Amino acid sequence: MPSLKEVRNRIVSVNSTQQITKAMKMVSAAKLRRATDAIVQMRPYSQKLTEMIATVSANAEGAQSNPYTITRDIQKVLVIVVTSDRGLCGAFNANVGKATVNLIAEKYASQNAAGNVEVLALGKKGAEYLTRRGYKVNEKFVHIFSKLSFTSVRQAAEYAMDGFVAEKFDVVEVIFNEFKNVATQILRAEQMLPLVDKQDSNVKASTVDYIFEPSEEEIISELIPKALKLQVYRAVLESNASEHGARMTAMDKATENAGELLKDLKLVYNRSRQAAITKEILEIVGGAEALASA
C-alpha cells in the first residue's frame, strides 16, 4: 500500500489536472460558439453559389471549356489536408491523417511511388503526422489558423487552382472534418479539381429561368473561381468548428476521468490513513501490555 505522502501528492496532481481540463473545456466552448456562428452563416451562401453554378453550367458550352473542368490523365496529385495547430482534441487530427494515408494508398499509389503526390498542409498537426510518414508536405500555409481569415485561405486555394491550370497538378483533393455537433465530426474527402468529375447529389440546378448579362460563359468564368475558393474556406471553417467541438468533448471526458480517479485516490488515502491509525493503536496497546506484565 502506498504511503500517505505519495497518495496526497497524487491527489494534488490530479486535482490540478482536473482544474486545467475544466478551464480548457470552457475556453473551447466559447470558441466553439464563434466558430459555429461563422460556419452556419456561410453555409447558405455556399449552397446558393453551388446551385447557381449548377444552373448556369447545365446548358452552357463555356462550362465545358473552362480551365477548371479539364480532365487529364492523373500523373500529379495535390491533397489539401485540414487539421489543427494544437492537440488535446481526441482523435480529431489522427483521423484526418489516417484518411489521407488511406486515400493516397487506394487512389494514388502509383503517383506516390513516383514522388508525384504533394500534400498541402493547413494546420501543424497534419504536417507533422504526414512528414513523419515520409510524404512530401508543403508547409507554405501551415500556420493558416494563427490568423484565420478568408484572405489567407484564398491564397491557399489560389495555389491549388493556379497549379491545376498550369498542369502542375492533374487532380486536387480536400480532406477535412465536417462539423455536425459538439460530439460528432464527419470526415470528408472531396475532389476540388477538376470540376467535371465532382458530383454532388444534394445540389440540384434551379428551375428558375434566369436572364444572363453579359453571357452565361462570362458568368461561369467569374463564378467557378469564387466557388472553388469558397469550397476551401468552408472546409477550413468546418474543421475549425470541429476542432473546438472535439476538444470540448475530450476535455469534458478528461475532467470526468479525473473526478473518478480522485474518488479512488481518496479511498486509498483513507484506507492508508486508517491502517496507519490502527497500527499506532496496536503499538500503544502492545506497549501498555508489556509494561503491565513487567
Which of 78, 89, 130, 224 is catalytic? The answer is 89
Tell me what pLDDT residue 214 has.
Answer: 73
Asked whether the predicted pLDDT for residue 284 surpasses 80, the reply is yes
Nearest of 28, 76, 73, 41 to residue 183 by alpha carbon: 28
Average pLDDT of the chain to the nearest whole number: 88
Could you confirm whether 181 is annotated as catalytic?
no
User: From CA 189, how far away is CA 103, in angstroms rounded?
Assistant: 8
Name the strand (E) or helix (H) holding 56. Answer: helix 4-57
Its sign, for the CA torsion 30, 34, 35, 41, is positive
Confidence of residue 198 (pLDDT cuts 50, 70, 90): very low
pLDDT in tens, 266-283: 999 998 888 888 888 888
Tell me what pLDDT residue 199 has.
Answer: 45
pLDDT in tens, 64-89: 667 888 889 999 999 999 999 999 99
Residue type, 101: V
Helix ranges (H only) for 58-186 are 61-65, 92-107, 109-113, 124-132, 150-165
Tell me what pLDDT residue 58 has.
Answer: 59
Q: Who contacts 253 (Cβ-Cβ below 8 Å, separation ≥6)?
A: none
The count of C-alpha atoms lying within 13 angstroms of the C-alpha of 239, restricted to the half-sphere facing its C-beta, is: 33
User: From CA 40, how far away is CA 215, in angstroms rounded?
Assistant: 32
Q: Who contacts 142 (Cβ-Cβ below 8 Å, separation ≥6)?
A: 121, 122, 123, 124, 127
Tell me what pLDDT residue 222 has.
Answer: 83
Asked whether the predicted pLDDT for residue 203 surpasses 60, the reply is no
**pTM tops 0.75:** yes
Q: Which is more confidently placed, 211 or 236?
A: 236
Domains in the chain: ranges and CATH: 43-247 (3.40.1380.10)
β-strands 77-82, 171-181 pairing:
parallel
Q: Average of pLDDT values for 4-12?
A: 90
Lowest mean pLDDT among 145-154, 170-179, 191-200: 191-200
Asked whether the predicted pLDDT for residue 1 surpasses 70, the reply is no
Residue with grid cell 490540478, as numbered in its chain = 16
Tell me what pLDDT residue 175 has.
Answer: 97
pLDDT in tens, 35-64: 999 998 888 888 888 777 766 665 555 556
Name the strand (E) or helix (H) holding 40. Answer: helix 4-57
pLDDT in tens, 128-157: 999 999 999 999 999 999 989 999 999 999
Asked whether the predicted pLDDT for residue 188 surpasses 90, the reply is yes
Tell me what pLDDT residue 55 has.
Answer: 67
Q: Average of pLDDT values for 197-202?
A: 46
Nearest of 137, 143, 131 to residue 119 by alpha carbon: 137
Tell me what pLDDT residue 293 has.
Answer: 78
Tell me what pLDDT residue 60 has.
Answer: 56
Please answer whether residues 253 and 48 qualify as being in contact, where contact means their C-beta atoms are separated by less than 8 angstroms. Answer: no
User: From CA 31, how far away is CA 12, in angstroms rounded?
Assistant: 29
Bridge partners (DSSP) of residue 187 are 177
Helices 150-165/216-293 angle, 10° precision: 120
Please answer whether residues 39 and 238 qualify as being in contact, where contact means their C-beta atoms are separated by less than 8 angstroms. Answer: yes
Please answer whether residues 227 and 49 qualify as being in contact, where contact means their C-beta atoms are separated by less than 8 angstroms. Answer: yes
**Angle at Cα 181 formed by Cα 29 and Cα 36, nearest 5°?**
55
